[in-house]
Chains A and B, each alone.
Chain A
Amino acid sequence: MIDIPTVRKAFPIFQNQPELVYLDSAATSLKPQCVIDAVSGFYTDHTSNVHRGDYAIAAENDALYDGTRKVVASFIHCDPREVIFTHNATASLNQAAYGLRKFLKPGDVVLTTKAEHASNLLPWFAMQKECGIKVEYAPLDSQGRLTEEAFLSAMHDKVRIVALAQVTNVTGAEQPIKAIAKAAHAYGAYVVCDGAQSVPHMPVDVRDLDVDFLAFSAHKMCGPGGTGVLYGKKELLTQMDPLLYGGDMNARFSSDGTVILKEAPVRFEAGTPAIEGVIGMRAAIEFLQKIGMDNIHAYEKELRAYFLQRMQELNNIEIYNPDNAYGPVAFNAKGVFSQDAAGYLASRNIAVRSGNHCAKILHEVIGTDSTIRASLYFYNTKEEIDRCVAACSDISLENAIGIFF
């Protein structure tokens, strides 16, 4: 059980914006004071670069930064040496794709779906152009869900990489990653998993899922911006090339161009990282672990079921993902363009996102170009949902235009 009033006290934005109903956590989450303090502590108490200073606060800083690898490892159940700090899930996915290039030859296939976010499609599209590989799509149902059977129907010998979100970012479909990974490995394919919408909301165990890569962002899980993680299996990381070259990631180099790189994970962390971001992510993970990922998952499921049930009572609302057990509710108000409707909700202090949410080929699956996405996190309440539902019941073309007068 989560003590919601106590949890909400940890987030200063609820005091500063008492009227706000924030239902856009799939875009970015709110930040608790402990994370804000961890970030500002870097500026006020131990400012220094990592792995360079020979003085006391630098040692403190290094301990906090490097110690975060262990915290992440305990969170997703891997070896700390398999945790690469990146700038966000996008950077993580680009590094995974770039690093896998050397395993691919022209004619090889990357199997994905049309529900994927741009960050798990465009890196593969780029390789399609540059390396002669082919991107193929496994079939989804009308709510963006992939079954094991549908996946197997699309799987074949030329598939070398399977690139999938564990939970998709618009319809919130939870894909059967564990079963898919098992099947993909039987074909000798690697599995690149986008965990941006799953890691913040449910217990994720990379060993159990047996994915080869997992990408996620700190800012969607109560952490600071500019920081993400790429988990990669050790035996793959040792063979992969870094996307970026520069400071810290090399051991030595000489004038003839010889470079000796450090081992993973530092090999993939060229340049000064977002140190305060990494330290803040540690505070965020510890905050989430204290609440418990099982508790977070259970509460969000309950909240989502309530939200869905209340929304289904409204005649003016069309919902695109009613059967998904959790994740965002994707909907439109009949006859009102999504951005107009979101503008009206904003006038009632309800923060949601409208548009295609970076999943620009999903419309081929769910049959609409743009939706309103209302996404939940463990700090949301039934009272907030009631306020959102009341505002949704009032969405009309007249009211949407009325906000300008």
Chain B
Amino acid sequence: MNSMNHLLDDPMVLRELIMDHYQYPHHHGLTDDPSYRHVHMASDSCIDDITVQSKIVDGIVEDVRFDGVACTISTSSTSMMTDLMIGKTKEQAEAIVDEYFRMIDHKEYDPDVLEEAVAMKNVYKQANRIKCATIGWKAMKQMLEEGEGHE
């Protein structure tokens, strides 16, 4: 086991990661650039209201951004998602999203693929928060399925 994985087994570290991503979310704030697709996730829950944008060119996820009003779990899980997606091919990105949903569903998963997002591994214990941990990821999944370009 490498040192990175070892650290990601430590609850204190995982807690700090969620705090960090919540207080200083990555790729936060939306762009007006028309080459981005966006998904507004407001109908799934009456509390969280998140918009995720992505730019996918020639099969590569070039950028992902998000903004909105949301709880710690929604914000930090979406922030972690943006880190994992950017620079990946569409196929790699889809594989990571699938792996994440396996973890959230409390199935077998590969923690190496999910990196910091393993901080969400215990969310399944609070059934009402699964929505929070998946809101941004669902938006990303939808954009990956829709493919490239902007209609």
**In the complex the two chains form, is A398's CB within 8 Å of B122's CB?**
no
Q: How long is the Cα–Cα vector from A278 to B146 in the complex, in angstroms?
A: 50
**In the complex the two chains form, is A405's CB within 8 Å of B11's CB?**
yes
Indicate which residue in B12, B14, B18, B72 contacts A337 across the interface (CB closer than 8 Å).
B72
Query: Which residues does chain A contribute within 8 Å of B73, judged by CB atoms?
Result: 340, 404
**In the complex the two chains form, is A369's CB within 8 Å of B125's CB?**
no
**Please, what's the 1-or-0 string for A321-345, where 1 marks a CB less than 8 Å from any CB in chain B?**
0000000000000000111100100
Q: How long is the Cα–Cα vector from A95 to B71 in the complex, in angstroms?
A: 37
Contact of A370 with B by CB under 8 A? yes
- Which 4 pairs from chain A and chain B are nearest by CB? A405-B11, A337-B71, A339-B71, A355-B47
Which of A's residues lie within 8 Å of B, judged by CB? 337-340, 343, 346, 354-356, 358, 360, 369-370, 397-398, 400-405
Q: Which of under 10, 10 to 19, 20 to 34, or 35 or more describes the interface residues of B?
A: 20 to 34
Given A343-B126, A369-B69, A397-B72, A356 and B47 touching (CB < 8 A)?
yes
Contact of B46 with A by CB under 8 A? yes
Q: How long is the Cα–Cα vector from A354 to B128 in the complex, in angstroms?
A: 12
Q: How long is the Cα–Cα vector from A402 to B119 in the complex, in angstroms?
A: 11
B119 to chain A, nearest CB (A): 8
Contact of B15 with A by CB under 8 A? yes
**In the complex the two chains form, is B46's CB within 8 Å of A355's CB?**
yes
Q: How long is the Cα–Cα vector from A29 to B129 in the complex, in angstroms?
A: 23
Q: Which of B17-37 contact A (CB under 8 A)?
A: 18-19, 22-23
B13 to chain A, nearest CB (A): 10
Contact of B139 with A by CB under 8 A? no
Please report whether the interface of chain B is mostly helix, strand, loop or mixed according to DSSP.
Answer: helix
Given A340-B72, A369-B69, A403-B126, A397 and B19 touching (CB < 8 A)?
yes
Query: Which residues does chain A contribute within 8 Å of B123, judged by CB atoms?
Result: 404
**In the complex the two chains form, is A400's CB within 8 Å of B72's CB?**
yes
Contact of B113 with A by CB under 8 A? no
Query: Which residues does chain A contribute within 8 Å of B93, judged by CB atoms?
Result: none
Q: How long is the Cα–Cα vector from A339 to B74 in the complex, in angstroms?
A: 11
Indicate which residue in A337, A354, A400, A404 contacts B70 across the interface (CB closer than 8 Å).
A337
Query: Which residues does chain A contribute within 8 Å of B125, judged by CB atoms?
Result: 404
Query: Which residues does chain B contribute within 8 Å of A337, judged by CB atoms?
Result: 70-72
Q: How long is the Cα–Cα vector from A242 to B140 in the complex, in angstroms?
A: 46
Query: Which residues does chain A contribute within 8 Å of B126, judged by CB atoms?
Result: 343, 346, 403-404
Indicate which residue in B14, B47, B120 contacts A354 across the interface (CB closer than 8 Å).
B47
Indicate which residue in B15, B23, B71 contacts A340 across the interface (CB closer than 8 Å).
B71
Q: How long is the Cα–Cα vector from A337 to B23 in the complex, in angstroms?
A: 12
